[in-house]
Structure 1
Amino acid sequence: MKPIIDKELCIGDGICEDICPHVFKLGDEGLAYVVDTNPEADLWDKVEEAARECPTDAILLEAYGPEQEMAA
Structure 2
Amino acid sequence: MRVYVDQDLCISCGLCIDTAPAVFQWNDDEKAEAVEEEVPSHVEEDAREALENCPTDAIKEMER
Q: Fold match, TM over 0.5?
A: yes
Structure 2 residue 27 is the aligned partner of structure 1 residue 39: no
1:57 partner amino acid? D
Shift of 1:4: 0.8
Aligned residues: 64
* Structure with more relative contact order (C-alpha pairs < 8 Å, separation 6 or more): 2
Match of 1:69 in 2: none
Runs of 4 or more above 3 Å deviation: none
- Bigger Rg, which one: 1
1:47 partner amino acid? A
Cα deviation, 1:42-65, whole Å, max 9, x if unaligned, reads 21111000011111000001142x
Moved more, 48-57 or 31-40: 31-40
Cα deviation, 1:7-48, whole Å, max 9, x if unaligned, reads 110000000000001110122322111112112212111100
Q: TM-score, normalised by structure 1?
A: 0.80
Match of 2:11 in 1: 11
Matching of residues 1-72 of structure 1 within 5 Å: 1-64=1-64
Q: CA RMSD in A?
A: 1.1
Unaligned runs of 5+ in 1: 65-72
